[in-house]
Structure 1
Amino acid sequence: MFVKCTPCCLCPPTEARTGNAPPDASTAGSLETASYLGTYTPPAMMVSRSPAALRVGCLQLSVSLLLVCTVSLGAARTPAPPACGKPQQLNRIVGGQDSTDAEWPWVVSIQKNGTHHCAGSLLTSRWVVTAAHCFKGSLNKPSQFSVLLGAWQLGNPGPRAQKVGIAWAHAHPVYSWKEGAPADIALVRLEHPVQFSERVLPICLPDASVHLPADTACWIAGWGSIHEGVPLPQPQTLQKLKVPIIDSEVCSRLYWRGAGQGAITEDMLCAGYLEGERDACLGDSGGPLMCQVDGSWLLAGVISWGEGCAERNRPGVYTSLTAHRPWVQRVVHGVQLRGASGARGRGPWGLGS
């Protein structure tokens, strides 16, 4: 930034401050979930799918040979952010297919000790959303983790990929760290902002107008196993799979365990195929369930759990972003919302709360 003052001015030094302290769980939002989570008993054999600037102006006034200089502070000016959910394309999920380069520019690889561990979705230049269970036993060890962005193939990320350390991970305050538990969602604060490009862009969150009825066609993407126990082979190309939304009542019946043993809570949604054969698997945890609404891709859910991989009558279960959007907005400043009637909630972006 270049600041020019007239000779009369003594322009005081300024210091921009950004908050880097982790959000207080007591104020970050305990979710209005106590009412809807209810009594929960985890089902058996569940598989978690994881292995401001200052504007200074000087005004010179001549009053009886006295020069007066004033300094005014203005609002911070930040570059307009690119629209969320809009790939700017260049031109294994079980049963999936190779994606194309820059097709899903918000999908990131969360790596633990240098190895792919979970997937996630970029919300702003400083924040990623993923599954809370990806940090089980390691929540207070951020140095073990890093985030790889803009990599289509993990085995050949290319010079335009970006690797950023994690400052901290903030799991939802009501998550119980049990497999298949509700509120399986975490927000990851990056050590520094990423640079946006055609390969690195944010995804939108659904606003209150978004409703996804059964059979809505959505997509999942990740670098997880292509079959149970079979890792994605080199060069580990990002896999994608089209999955329909499954009616919540149907899914609840499929995972019903008897009186008081319902596994599907109100903050979960299901997607996939009742016949099996195509599904998310180990290593896909935390990745996105993406649905396109009015030309923008929205993050409908986070890959959470399931019984096995691609088994009959055991579809994938996802943490609903509709249910947890208020909490995400309290923690992450500048996340972009979209809905059936267009843009909502767009504001300054890339600034942590």
Structure 2
Amino acid sequence: LGAGGALGMSLLWAGKTTRDGRKLDPPLPMSPDCGKPQQLNRIVGGQDSVDAQWPWVVSIQKNGTHHCAGSLLTNRWVVTAAHCFKGYVWFSRASRWIVQLGELTLRQSFWSLRAHRNRYRVKDIIVNPQARGKFHDIALLRLASSVTYSKYIQPICVLSSTFMFLHRSDCWVTGWGVIHENMVPLPPPYRLREVQVTILNNSRCRELFELPFLRSSISFDMLCAGAENGSRDTCHGDSGGPLVCELEGLWYQIGIVSWGVGCGQPNRPGVYTNVSLHFDWIRMLVSRNDMPRPDPSPVLLFLTLPWAPRLLGPA
């Protein structure tokens, strides 16, 4: 990313604060390119997506099979759910995992050759060190090579706070999961689905889940979204996918599909990992691993140059 783009985004967000007065960090990546789909047409109760509408959505695959969804943060990083890798991280190499970008359909065909150019191997799987079951359900994937952005592949923005999205009824979630809790799969060619959901505050969500076997299930790093009548929800196979909302012309990821009770049940909204509460962890990993290697120290060069002829040998 160019320095001018990063500076422009930083200046744009310099004066923004949360309701309690905390400074609002710029979105990740700090680039004017994030959160801008080229197509702006507007799961359970959902509908098929169209090309370039959700260019940050990725399919995470193992052995050629869709396993979870995720979203592109930068040209080297994908964010998804930690539970997608339960039982896998210690027993399989990261390079066996593939991330597919820029494609709406999971089934490859002669007419879908673009997908073969938009598959990237995973270099590292980094699960949040606090992840335990449903809690802190977030992981980052570092890709083995840099993604090339296009009309169909763009990063999503993330923020350090999501208070401005509470009670919004026009946020969206996408996925390739089953379309009924009876495990009815997507029909071929397995096209990405989208559904519009309402963001619930955690107090209301805790009320809806106030059952003996679910008590205290909604933690501080979760948020709930869906429809209280159960008509709009995610389901099995949607895990790791992004919950996104639009604000002032940009799209922001506020949640990661995490868990739920059944699919599309009344008074049981979907539960998502609150991305903003992991903003610092994401920023630390992305910035630390994407920093360019510094130039050699002038002192080191000074000490090694006199020895260069001896090291290189006679001409």
Q: Which bracket does the TM-score occupy, shorter chain normalised?
A: 0.7 to 0.9
Deviations 1:161-192 (A, max 9, x none): 3011111111111111x2xx210000001111
Aligned to 2:122: 166
Aligned to 1:183: 136
Q: Contact 2:160 / 2:277 at 8 angstroms: preserved in 1?
A: no
Measure how far apart 1:304 and its partner are.
0.2
Q: Contact 2:60 / 2:69 at 8 angstroms: preserved in 1?
A: yes
2:258 aligned counterpart, secondary structure: strand
The residue type paired with residue 167 of structure 2 is A
The residue type paired with residue 53 of structure 2 is E
Measure how far apart 1:207 and its partner are.
3.8
The residue type paired with residue 99 of structure 2 is V
2:141 aligned counterpart, secondary structure: strand
**Percent of matched pairs sharing the same residue:** 49
Aligned to 1:125: 75
1:151 aligns with 2:107: no
Match of 1:225 among 150, 156, 178: 178
Q: Point out where structure 2 has 5 or more consecutive residues left out of the alignment.
A: 1-29, 294-315
Measure how far apart 1:152 and its partner are.
1.3
Question: Which structure carries more relative contact order (alpha carbon 8 Å, separation 6+)?
Answer: 1
Measure how far apart 1:95 and its partner are.
1.2
Aligned to 1:256: 210
Greater fraction helix: 2
Aligned to 1:344: none
Measure how far apart 1:292 and its partner are.
0.4
Deviations 1:72-119 (A, max 9, x none): xxxxxxxx966100012399x111101111110000000121100100
Deviations 1:309-343 (A, max 9, x none): 11111110000011111111111129xxxxxxxxx
Equivalent pairs counted in the alignment come to 256
Q: Point out where structure 1 has 5 or more consecutive residues left out of the alignment.
A: 1-79, 335-348
**Aligned runs of 1:14-163 on 2, under 5 Å?**
83-89=33-39, 93-140=43-90, 141=92, 142-156=94-108, 158-161=112-115, 162-163=118-119
Q: Contact 2:159 / 2:252 at 8 angstroms: preserved in 1?
A: yes
Judged with a 3 Å threshold, the aligned counterparts in structure 2 of structure 1 residues 196 and 281 are, in CA distance, closer, same or farther, namely same
The residue type paired with residue 224 of structure 1 is G
Q: Contact 1:226 / 1:281 at 8 angstroms: preserved in 2?
A: yes
TM-score, structure 1 as length reference: 0.68
Give the structure with higher Rg (CA). Answer: 1
TM-score, structure 2 as length reference: 0.76
Q: Contact 1:108 / 1:148 at 8 angstroms: preserved in 2?
A: yes
Structure 2: how far apart are the matches of 1:257 and 1:210?
27
Q: Contact 2:69 / 2:80 at 8 angstroms: preserved in 1?
A: yes
1:214 aligns with 2:177: no
